């Protein structure tokens, strides 16, 4: 028995799916898979792998099948280094080549560096998605608060208009109320634009439509040391952890190995090398071989070793010195990467302490504003304040709440960046709640 849902039910079900909230972990996972920077790094990794295979496969037979058909007048001269023939097969492969062995190792190290670079881009995409997700959640909370702020501002304007018309308040009070309303509308437009940009950024990172970017605040994992405490305190060696776990440092170290292997290979280009070569040719009688050679046969084959012993090559010597200089440069780049990673981690650790203090200041400021609103409401009951005073206090409270949300997000962002610097971002972002 076949059961078919009515069309209106199907439409409602589709709309519900489209409006389904996006979990934090899913957003981060999708960003790690679909980010354009990750795709570019994957292409570079595949290119490095092909370069490695190109050098390694020189130890395998390189077969060439062809023909050297041509007219011969007099002695049969060679065509492209081979005798004129109806059909020929040539094969060549490295048998012993000390330089090639080190060049293969260098290409393999470059391939590993490309893989590490891809992993670095993947974690960077995860950080960007995590920060954008948290900021969008914060902006959505601010947009909800700004609606109440707009209502309060409108009420304040209406109250001041009535009081000015009744000659109770000065016209400047109405102007101040309208200024607050205009500022609220400006802030609302700013937040809406920011939310739209963040949805678009998340859409580019995750590959999902922008309208599906509905973050869930509760899905964001708790950050370690959220109050700037022990997890991120001076006793934690964030500088050492960053130097050890930084993907940029690992990439620089892999490139150093590649440069060192390449230098080893360039120095061995002047060493003896042996190639295994073979050739088969089917010769034609019309090329006059029987006229110039005592004995002629159509099927011919050669198998042997091609031995090379370069004993004087000034150009290669200069190339080897150039490779040595690249190795020294790569060593300095490793040290610079470690220093940069450690310095960035220490900077973030200091910034987190400052931002935690700023968040606490905003929290206490907001609590005082809430107390002021409650005091204004009590004063109205006692007949010591007006509705305008209460609306002003409420507007102040809502503005302090907006500042608190911004301060909390800046702290959250710095904590995420520190997790990225110390190599702990992926563990935190993909943790199961």
Same domain, 402 and 360: yes
Which pLDDT score is estimated for 304? Answer: 93
Do 158 and 303 fall into the same domain?
no
Residue 433 lies in a domain: no
Number of domains in the chain: 2
Phi, psi of 65 (to 5 degrees): -115, 130
pLDDT tens across 47-105, in order?
A: 999 999 999 999 999 999 988 888 888 888 888 778 888 889 999 999 999 999 999 99
Indicate whether 11 belongs to any domain.
no
Both 298 and 174 in one domain: the answer is no
Question: What pLDDT score does 15 carry?
Answer: 36
Same domain, yes or no, for 243 and 351? yes
Q: Please identify, among 257, 292, 308, the residue that sits at the C-terminal boundary of a domain.
A: 308
Domain membership flag for residue 7? no
- 192 plus 281 within the same structural domain: no
Which pTM was predicted? 0.81
Together in a domain, 292 and 365? no
* 228 & 89 share domain: no
Domain containing residue 326: CATH number: 1.20.1600.10
Sequence-ordered list of residues with C-beta below 8 angstroms from that of 409, at least 6 positions apart, any chain: 134, 135, 138
Is residue 241 domain-shared with residue 112, that is, in the same domain? Answer: yes
Are 217 and 332 contained in the same domain? yes
Does residue 388 sit in the same domain as residue 285?
no
Average pLDDT rounded to a whole number, residues 348-371: 92
Q: How confident is the model at residue 268 (pLDDT cuts 50, 70, 90)?
A: very high
Q: How many CB atoms lie within 10 A of CB 230?
A: 11
Quote the domain boundaries for residue 292: 62-96+273-308
Residue positions counted in the chain: 433
What are the distances in angstroms from CA 196 to CA 71, 136, 149, 190, 213?
75, 9, 21, 10, 10
Residues 218 and 282 in one domain: no
Q: Report in angstroms the alpha-carbon separations of 185 from 137, 150, 152.
A: 20, 7, 12
Share of the chain above pLDDT 70, in %: 89
Model confidence pLDDT, tens digit, residues 368-421: 988 887 787 777 666 665 666 667 777 787 888 889 999 999 999 999 999 999
Q: Considering the chain, what is the average pLDDT of its residues? A: 85
Q: 38-48, pLDDT tens digit by residue?
A: 999 999 999 99
């Amino acid at each position: 028995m076949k059961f078919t849902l009515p069309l209106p039910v199907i439409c409602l079900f589709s709309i519900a799916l489209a409006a389904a909230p996006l979990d934090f972990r899913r957003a981060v996972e999708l960003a790690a898979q679909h980010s354009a920077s990750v795709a570019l790094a994957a292409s570079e990794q595949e290119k490095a792998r092909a370069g490695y295979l190109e050098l390694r496969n020189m130890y395998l037979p390189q077969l060439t099948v062809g023909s050297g058909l041509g007219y011969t007048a007099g002695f049969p001269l060679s065509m492209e280094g081979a005798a004129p023939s109806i059909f020929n097969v040539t094969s060549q492969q490295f048998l012993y080549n000390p330089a090639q062995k080190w060049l293969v190792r260098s290409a393999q190290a470059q391939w590993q560096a490309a893989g590490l670079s891809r992993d670095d881009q993947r974690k960077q995409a995860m950080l960007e998605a995590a920060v954008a997700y948290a900021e969008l959640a914060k902006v959505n909370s601010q947009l909800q608060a700004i609606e109440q702020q707009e209502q309060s501002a409108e009420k304040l304007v209406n109250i001041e208009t009535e009081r000015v018309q009744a000659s109770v308040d000065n016209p400047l009070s109405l102007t101040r109320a309208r200024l607050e309303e205009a500022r609220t509308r400006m802030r609302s437009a700013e937040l809406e634009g920011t939310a739209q940009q963040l949805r678009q950024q998340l859409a580019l990172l995750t590959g999902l439509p922008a309208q599906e970017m509905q973050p869930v605040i509760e899905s964001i994992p708790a950050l370690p040391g959220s109050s700037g405490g022990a997890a991120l305190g001076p006793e934690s060696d964030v500088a050492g952890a960053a130097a050890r776990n930084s993907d940029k440092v690992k990439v620089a170290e892999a490139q150093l190995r590649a440069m060192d292997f390449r230098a080893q290979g360039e120095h061995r280009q002047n060493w003896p090398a042996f190639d295994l070569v073979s050739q088969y040719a089917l010769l034609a009688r019309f090329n006059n071989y029987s006229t110039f050679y005592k004995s002629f046969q159509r099927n011919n084959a050669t198998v042997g070793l091609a031995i090379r012993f370069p004993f004087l090559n000034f150009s290669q010597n200069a190339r080897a010195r150039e490779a040595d200089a690249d190795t020294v440069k790569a060593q300095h780049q490793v040290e610079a990467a470690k220093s940069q990673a450690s310095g960035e981690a220490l900077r973030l650790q200091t910034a987190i302490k400052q931002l935690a203090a700023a968040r606490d200041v905003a929290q206490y400021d907001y609590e005082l504003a809430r107390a002021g609103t409650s005091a204004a409401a009590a004063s109205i009951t006692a007949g010591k304040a007006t509705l305008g005073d209460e609306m002003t206090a409420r507007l102040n409270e809502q503005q302090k709440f907006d500042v608190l949300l911004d301060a909390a997000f800046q702290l959250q962002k710095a904590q995420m960046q520190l997790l990225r610097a110390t190599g702990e971002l992926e563990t935190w972002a993909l943790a199961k709640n």
